[in-house]
């Protein structure tokens, strides 16, 4: 006689209210229903008027057509619903949460809440009171708050300690950001993976173009709030790991797609002013990448790096053919670029040779002094305090536009039916230079000298003991970084039409300057390629877009750096070594060997 025994599965983490790591509890729980209802109401509220007057930018007075900050709230509500439905097991959206995580829903709900309440507060402050809010704005604020309350009630992502379950909303909120590792990805056909790469690059281009094209500061702040929440949500969901695996598999296609998207950027802009922002961002980013070699790879704290940008700019201006140059010389483009690179390289060697034997704070002080000496020296070469070379504080104006193979970058051109203006021309030129700098950085990082730089950065004494000529290796890094800055300076001189000493201060409200360049490297992530690019874009865009906060710019910038150092010291994009340095690795400690023999150990 055969006896059949039926067992009832016992859920993991019984009694804790937590799901099994890597899985989501399905079903319409009250928290999910509340979250879905709040997100749906928030979405519907964007089709209502939020205020009665067009005095607030973005025209939030129209029924049935979202505008301005309403569009950001609409996008946030849609993303919240999408990740929520993915958690409920909707097959078409299940790919959004490969890690089986609820935290993306909470993050997006918080981002939507922040944008909506910021819009309501901005309307009240700008127009003079909450009375200027229409019912649509009040509904949006209440619905976004309900969405956050519902999201806080969702099950946490990972198992809890049975003796200390998350009993409070704050405890659950803090614990919900510990996302589990994503499940193993199912193999996809190569053509599907290429489509995924193309879609990701297209979304990145659209987001970047939207951010640059924001016409007023309130919309840009809302864009930053929602973008921060969305990027963090995608990271917590595990989508970035899936995308990283796909891009690593098709690296050449990824690079080509990214470059094509970058080339297409000026074609997506309706105004030449936005293309000019792209050109200046690339100049700033290229210089930041050069500084990343000095600081990020070699570990040399250079506080006067912007002086090398100035050396390249002044050298190019003096040979540009401007009537304000004391030299009657007009070099062609490539010769002018080589002049700027050579001048910065020579200055890098001359400054680095006597100073690179110093370390730490002493080196920082000397490089800071060099930056100030350069600026004061350019002011004094005015024919009164010194030789008449740089026209003193007035600088060198009327620098003509570049002409490359008969192609005048200062004139508008038509390409495939698109009008390409002056700043778009310089943007494409700087894109080529940025690609060269990225290639130099990657090749250097993966080379023997790159490994020597990293060794010096980690421990110079140990590197010297291993046979590395630390002085010569640091001098190469200093000279290479200076040469890359000089290359960017040649283009900057022609884009701005003028060079003057005030452009190269240590701290100034508008980048590039030494403080902002160093901050871009630290903010983005030292030793990485994409980190300084992202950091430079943010640090250039924020002062340009938030002109109404100009008086508090440096204060807000300092607070942002303090928060970054506290919560993400490795930067926005961190390499593996920095993650291990600043965060716990989760590895077990080596057991003590006290009392054991060598054989037993």
Query: Which uninterrupted H or E stretch holds 414?
Result: strand 413-415
pLDDT of residue 232 exceeding 70, the answer is yes
Average pLDDT over residues 75-81: 95
Tens-digit pLDDT profile for residues 314-363 = 999 999 888 888 888 889 888 999 999 999 999 999 988 888 888 878 88
Of 261, 265, 310, nearest to 287 (Cα)? 310
pLDDT of residue 16: 39
Q: Could you give the CA distance from residue 458 to residue 38 in angstroms, rounded to a whole number?
A: 50
Q: Which residues pair with 407 in a beta bridge?
A: 404
pLDDT of residue 165: 54
Higher-pLDDT residue of 15, 500: 500
pLDDT of residue 39: 95
Q: What is the DSSP letter of 294?
A: I
Tens-digit pLDDT profile for residues 88-114 = 877 778 788 876 678 899 999 999 999
**Per DSSP, which regions of 126-277 are E strands?**
none
Q: What number of CA atoms fall less than 13 Å from residue 392's CA on the CB side?
A: 8
pLDDT band at 185 (very low <50, low <70, confident <90, very high): low
Tens-digit pLDDT profile for residues 560-575 = 778 877 877 778 887 7
In the chain, % of residues over pLDDT 70: 85
pLDDT of residue 176 exceeding 80, the answer is no
pLDDT band at 13 (very low <50, low <70, confident <90, very high): very low
pLDDT of residue 213: 87
Q: What is the DSSP letter of 407?
A: E
pLDDT of residue 410: 86
pLDDT of residue 291 exceeding 70, the answer is yes
Of 482, 448, 444, nearest to 356 (Cα)? 482
**Per DSSP, which regions of 424-579 are E strands?**
none
Least confident of 143-152, 181-190, 247-256: 181-190
Average pLDDT over residues 18-37: 66
Q: Could you give the CA distance from residue 384 to residue 104 in angstroms, rounded to a whole number?
A: 64
pLDDT of residue 5: 42
Do 530 and 573 meet the contact criterion of CB atoms below 8 Å apart?
Answer: yes
Tell me the DSSP string of 557-597: HHHHHHHHHHH-TT-SS--HHHHHHHS---PPPPPP-TT--
pLDDT of residue 99: 65
Average pLDDT over residues 510-515: 74
Mean pLDDT of the chain: 82
pLDDT band at 80 (very low <50, low <70, confident <90, very high): very high
pLDDT of residue 188: 77
pLDDT of residue 280 exceeding 70, the answer is yes
pLDDT of residue 174 exceeding 60, the answer is no
Average pLDDT over residues 171-198: 67
Tens-digit pLDDT profile for residues 450-509 = 899 989 988 888 999 988 999 999 999 999 999 999 999 999 999 988 898 888 887 765
Q: What residues have CB less than 8 Å from 460, skipping those under 6 apart?
A: 299, 359, 470
Average pLDDT over residues 379-401: 86
Domain ranges of the chain: 30-158+170-247, 272-531+548-580
In the chain, % of residues over pLDDT 90: 36
Q: Could you give the CA distance from residue 506 to residue 307 in angstroms, rounded to a whole number?
A: 9
Tens-digit pLDDT profile for residues 410-457 = 888 777 777 888 899 999 999 999 999 999 888 888 889 989 998 998
CA dihedral sign of residues 220, 226, 232, 238: negative
Q: Could you give the CA distance from residue 293 to residue 528 in angstroms, rounded to a whole number?
A: 9
pLDDT of residue 2: 43
pLDDT of residue 552: 75
pLDDT of residue 163 exceeding 50, the answer is no
pLDDT of residue 583: 57
């Amino acid at each position: 006689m055969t006896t059949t025994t039926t067992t009832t599965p016992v859920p993991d983490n019984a009694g804790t209210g937590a799901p099994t790591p890597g899985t989501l509890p399905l079903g319409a729980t009250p928290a999910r229903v509340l979250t879905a209802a709040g997100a749906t109401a928030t979405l519907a509220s964007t089709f209502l008027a939020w205020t009665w007057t067009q005095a607030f930018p973005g025209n939030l007075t129209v029924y049935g057509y979202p505008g301005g900050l309403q569009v950001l709230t609409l996008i946030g509500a849609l993303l919240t619903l999408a990740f929520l439905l993915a958690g409920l097991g909707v097959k078409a959206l299940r790919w959004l949460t490969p890690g089986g995580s609820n935290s993306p829903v909470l993050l997006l709900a918080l981002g939507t809440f922040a944008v909506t309440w910021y819009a309501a507060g901005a309307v009240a402050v700008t127009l003079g009171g909450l009375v200027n809010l229409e019912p649509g704005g009040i509904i949006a604020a209440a619905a976004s708050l309900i969405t956050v309350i519902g999201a806080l009630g969702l099950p946490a992502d990972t198992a809890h300690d049975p003796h200390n379950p998350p009993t409070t909303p704050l405890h659950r909120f803090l614990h919900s950001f510990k996302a589990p590792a994503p499940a193993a990805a199912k193999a996809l056909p190569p053509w599907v993976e290429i489509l995924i790469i193309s879609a990701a690059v297209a979304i990145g281009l659209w987001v970047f173009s939207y951010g640059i094209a924001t016409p007023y500061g309130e919309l840009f702040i809302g864009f930053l709030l929602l973008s921060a929440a969305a990027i963090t949500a995608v990271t917590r969901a595990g989508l970035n790991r899936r995308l990283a695996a796909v891009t690593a598999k098709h690296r050449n296609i990824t690079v080509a797609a990214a470059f094509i998207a970058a080339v297409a950027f000026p074609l997506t802009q309706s105004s030449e002013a936005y293309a000019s922002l792209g050109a200046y961002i690339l100049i700033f980013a290229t210089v930041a990448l050069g500084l990343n070699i000095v600081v990020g790879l070699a570990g040399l704290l250079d506080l006067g790096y912007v002086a090398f940008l100035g050396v390249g700019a002044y050298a190019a201006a003096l040979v540009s053919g401007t009537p304000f140059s004391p030299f009657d010389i007009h070099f062609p483009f490539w010769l002018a670029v080589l002049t700027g690179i050579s001048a910065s390289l020579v200055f890098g060697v001359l400054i680095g040779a006597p100073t690179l034997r110093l370390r730490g704070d002493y080196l920082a002080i000397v490089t800071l002094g060099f930056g100030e000496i350069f600026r004061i020296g350019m002011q004094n070469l005015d024919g009164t305090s010194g030789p008449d070379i740089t026209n003193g504080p007035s600088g060198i104006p009327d620098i003509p536009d570049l002409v490359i193979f008969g192609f005048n970058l200062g004139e508008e051109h038509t390409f495939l039916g698109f009008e390409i203006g002056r700043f778009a021309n310089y943007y494409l030129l700087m894109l080529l230079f940025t690609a060269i700098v990225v290639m130099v950085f990657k090749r250097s990082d993966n080379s023997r000298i790159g490994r020597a730089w990293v060794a010096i950065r980690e421990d110079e004494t140990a590197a010297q003991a291993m046979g590395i000529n630390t002085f010569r290796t640091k001098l190469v890094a200093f000279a290479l970084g200076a040469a890359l800055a000089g290359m960017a300076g040649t283009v900057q001189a022609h884009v701005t039409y003028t060079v003057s000493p005030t452009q190269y201060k240590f701290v100034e409200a508008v980048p590039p300057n030494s403080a902002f360049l160093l901050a871009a490297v630290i903010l983005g992530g030292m030793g990485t390629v994409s980190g300084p690019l992202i950091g430079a874009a943010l640090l250039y865009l924020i002062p340009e877009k938030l002109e109404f906060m100009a008086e508090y710019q440096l204060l807000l910038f300092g607070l942002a750096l303090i928060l970054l150092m506290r919560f993400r010291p490795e930067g926005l994009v961190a390499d593996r070594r920095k993650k291990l340095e600043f965060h716990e690795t989760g590895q077990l400690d080596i057991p003590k060997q006290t009392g054991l023999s060598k054989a037993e150990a």
